[in-house]
Chain A
């Protein structure tokens, strides 16, 4: 474990210091150890703030994994910090305004997750409509010979899909679902004239004209609980919600109530408001598919992410442009 000193940055062959907050994926961890002097607070007997005071006074770069929070007080403890790289696309866990104020550049994972998240969203939707997980459970419990054929599901083709947030992930989802014969509409912060899909100026209007809502937007103050009781009512009792964004996009308590009262058709949920806690009322529902924030977790992604994180760090330490900078204008949950 390396100790900090006032003189930072590259000197000859000395590797730059990089502060970690949590143990990263092992493949990333290995790649980083080879190139950087890693500060690993969890290995220290010192409490976190004392560790930072003792060792991180000169650290210029921070790697954020696992959506660990980066707020004002943490930044106060890192006076030399000039660069934060997060392994997520979402940046709602980072106080971007504070970073901007202190001249700290931020890089995220760009669009690296888009394919895997889009695939997962489609998989969840097929699973909910066609009861893949529920009927798999039925088979494994030995019910097929005992209780007969499984009840019928619902056809995906011709469903009206409303995408909330037509960024990189939303666009990949749209492209896929079109091939299944779905019609695509969207709500986004602004209309995108170059896309062939129907734009709705509000999520409520989108929901009223959709059979399925897919959530693939960032979590910001504006989008917190954007899927609320009114939107669920507009979507209707056969409507399906697929959430591969952030749990807090949905008023989770309302969703659970709607599901329990059969006022909504079903849901595929990879994210929850208070992960890893999941409302237990959902555990007995066959029209719900649950996942543990796994939508990005592929082997291919982990290789690509490693390469991207290291490329961004190398760019920072050599004063070159970052590959996936987060704009200072990106609105975060804190701003």
Chain B
């Protein structure tokens, strides 16, 4: 049987790559210079039946069109914003992602970012490393995290995991979602501006779609306010980034903990000098344990597909 040809658009994870290479024929798109990539795809289209995507690159309409033998897109992420799902449905292409295995890590980071911003952890660390403690010996009062109202955008797996953790700190939980969820005691807001106006920490935990693009806009940021903190562990484009920077610069927003940005790996440099922000380079699922589990799930889905068995975590 013909070995499955797998297109890998960007480097993702050494363990994943070696497991793919052991089983399949891997086509590494990044090994071609950018101007030669269309040619590379065209030249190998006859062999490519699978794409492994992630948060940086997946299978957009052009890629799908260029791969007439494409059968499955297996994402090394839970987010599917880099996959043209409608086109996949249309073409009968299966799509899988990596839910559940990364839920804990992402939720942990969301809480870690909230505490780091409110309690100025990174700033304290900078302060000590600069030798300032010895000479200055000053301190600044920060803001307590326990008991603060947490507003969650999107009460899916990750949103629920964030809520569960925050509850252990005595934090009241509110949320905004497309529809109210049954079986929770959390306070539902059908309007995101209202949620923002009534919480202290607003966490973006929904998927990125056309509807949620720039869902955190100037109005939401103003409602969150000069004492409010935004935590984004979703996708950069959830937030109108220039508006976010302006709100922080002008003191209309209290602080931000950001794992994702609109143009990764580029982060607005104006944020670099701010004490009330924490900036991390898309590390939400970035632990050895979780990336290995994600890789196993990608391989498991591809193997199931090759063997005509039910996919493990299908989306389409």
Contact = CB atoms under 8 A, between A and B. Distances in A.
Given A157-B108, A176-B168, A298 B124 contact: no
B144 interface: yes
A203 interface: no
A292 B289 contact: no
A218 to B, nearest CB: 22
Contacts of A283: 128-129
A60 B126 CA distance: 42
Interface string A129-159: 1111101111110101100111011111100
A276 interface: yes
A301 B143 CA distance: 9
A240 to B, nearest CB: 14
A149 B281 contact: yes
Interface stretch (B19-27, B32-40, B109-117): B109-117
B283 interface: yes
28 contacts: A119-B115, A119-B119, A119-B144, A120-B121, A123-B116, A123-B119, A123-B121, A123-B145, A126-B115, A127-B122, A130-B112, A130-B286, A132-B116, A132-B122, A139-B280, A140-B272, A148-B265, A155-B104, A157-B105, A176-B165, A180-B108, A181-B104, A278-B128, A283-B128, A297-B140, A297-B141, A297-B142, A300-B143
A14 interface: no
B139 A294 contact: yes
Interface of A: 115-116, 118-120, 122-124, 126-127, 129-133, 135-140, 142, 144-145, 148-150, 152-157, 175-176, 178-181, 275-278, 283, 289-294, 297-302
B146 A132 contact: no
Given A123-B112, A136-B279, A278-B133, A176 B169 contact: yes
B113 to A, nearest CB: 7
Interface in B264-310: 264-267, 269, 272, 278-283, 286-291
A294 B124 contact: yes
B124 A292 contact: yes
A126 B112 contact: yes
Consensus secondary structure, chain A interface: helix
A65 to B, nearest CB: 12
Interface string B247-276: 000000000000000001111010010000
B197 to A, nearest CB: 21
B211 interface: no
B11 to A, nearest CB: 9
A153 B281 contact: no
Contact of B121 (A118, A133, A138, A149): A133
Contacts of B291: 152
A301 B144 contact: yes
Given A123-B119, A126-B108, A135 B280 contact: yes
B128 A290 contact: yes
Contacts of A150: 280-281, 283, 286
A66 to B, nearest CB: 10
B146 A119 contact: yes
B147 interface: yes
Interface of B: 104-105, 108-109, 111-113, 115-116, 119-122, 124-129, 133-134, 137, 139-147, 164-165, 167-170, 264-267, 269, 272, 278-283, 286-291
Contacts of B165: 176, 179-180
A136 B112 contact: no
A38 B89 CA distance: 77
Contacts of B126: 133, 137
Given A135-B280, A139-B279, A276 B115 contact: no
Chain A to chain B: the 3 pairs with minimum beta-carbon distance, closest first: A126-B112, A179-B168, A123-B115
A293 B129 CA distance: 14
Nearest to A123: B115
A181 to B, nearest CB: 6
A245 B258 CA distance: 30
Contacts of A277: 134
B253 to A, nearest CB: 18
B168 A178 contact: yes
Contacts of B267: 139, 144
B282 A126 contact: no
A15 B288 CA distance: 63
Contacts of A275: 133
A138 B283 CA distance: 12
A131 B146 contact: no
Contacts of B278: 132, 136
A130 B280 CA distance: 10
Contacts of B144: 115-116, 119, 298-301
Contacts of A292: 124, 127-128, 133, 139
A275 B139 CA distance: 14
A29 B131 CA distance: 28
Contacts of A298: 119, 141-144
B168 A276 contact: no
A111 to B, nearest CB: 13
A144 B265 contact: yes
A130 to B, nearest CB: 6
Contacts of A297: 139-142
A140 B279 contact: yes
